[in-house]
Structure 1
């Protein structure tokens, strides 16, 4: 089974990433920084169903929309779940940077052939300078607690936690890091708002009998690089 991961940076790069995603012919796509207003268009373009995690209301061009992350798939979905590991009472508007966003996971259980896969995505807490803070530490603890219920899992996303670093290192104690160690950057070298900034912050983690292989990074799609992988079960 093929999985693709990408932070699409809202509405800035449809012309770049949509042709690439179609070319990949993935079974499951994990996307961050997507608006609910764009889900129907993306479903039509990709021929897939979406499973959306609302995070915060904000402007999408001239419209009010809900910003979040989503999983797209054309496979049969046996179960889907939305759960939050951080909820902010001031979530009516993105008024205080990243701190007013809810944070959570969307998880789907899908079948391909005779194999069943549990796949999740998240857009983890941002700190700005790449250094951990107490909010990240608390959110990591809550996230890991949510993931305990899934004995077999692949979770992909923008984790806003550079490797090496405290948060990524702690995640690696509980999950298998499938990004090869020689890869030291997942930001796009040209499309990121700080061209040339290097941080390894996008991951495809796994646990249990879920195996991730054929990991490749792809530039020129968004402010983050895309990741393509192959999934199987042991």
Structure 2
């Protein structure tokens, strides 16, 4: 038994045709999305033939009333089981409009305006979770990001204990080699091969090529990953794919 999984930061509605083409080519059993607009849920439900599980994180400014952004999980023509949305910062009852500040000449989202959540579900006996950790200026490991990572790790460990194992996917905004990434790798196996040094698609990202490996696959010892790959031409982040099976 195995699951083919794809995890993608889709940058809201900017690359839907590219994402659609990728899904048509790869045909993942499970799609884990970050920066998913609530208004695009119907698009993905038609594409995958099932219902989306969605957890809101913020309202993106200047995009009209239908501007709620979050994370989502959807299986191909199957229902997800035991879905849980666990917030580790912010309040799901009071989703805020995303605020921005400028640091070292770059516009950066204010993490205090964005709720953080781990969305988890079971599919074919596998427990999988997705999250989107707060962004920091120039990929620095800030005290707030490390605090959030600690809360995320505790939630993921609890899910793993209940289910037996866990694969945690998503955009962690924590470059490999820095302190926040090291926290995650201390508690879970880093499933992305070391030869991948960036998960940013410089041809589509507004900042161009950035040597940051920020998208991740972290798992417990009872799971193993095969065919881990990054695909360009999908969004401003590469699509991260793998085959998940029991060790």
TM-score (norm 2): 0.88
Q: Deviations over 1:43-79 (max 9, x none)?
A: 1122232111110123473333211011111334231
Rounded Cα–Cα distance in structure 2 between residues aligned with 1:14 and 1:178: 27
Q: Deviations over 1:158-182 (max 9, x none)?
A: 0000011111111111001010011
CA RMSD of aligned residues (A): 1.6
1:104: which partner in 2?
A: 117
Where 1:125 maps in the other structure, the secondary structure is coil
Q: Deviations over 1:108-154 (max 9, x none)?
A: 0111xxxx100000001110210111111110111111112123000
Matching of residues 39-188 of structure 1 within 5 Å: 39-59=41-61, 61-74=63-76, 75-87=78-90, 91-96=95-100, 97-99=109-111, 100-111=113-124, 116-149=125-158, 150-151=160-161, 152-188=165-201
Conserved 8 A contact 2:59-2:67? yes
Rounded Cα–Cα distance in structure 1 between residues aligned with 2:81 and 2:96: 32
Conserved 8 A contact 2:61-2:97? no
Bigger fraction of residues in strand: 1
TM-score (norm 1): 0.93
Matching of residues 194-205 of structure 1 within 5 Å: 194-205=207-218
2:104: which partner in 1?
A: none
Paired residues, number = 230
Rounded Cα–Cα distance in structure 2 between residues aligned with 1:184 and 1:207: 22
Conserved 8 A contact 2:225-2:244? yes
1:26: which partner in 2?
A: 28
1:214: which partner in 2?
A: 227
Rounded Cα–Cα distance in structure 2 between residues aligned with 1:48 and 1:22: 15
The runs of 5 or more residues in structure 1 that have no matched partner are none
Conserved 8 A contact 2:156-2:168? no
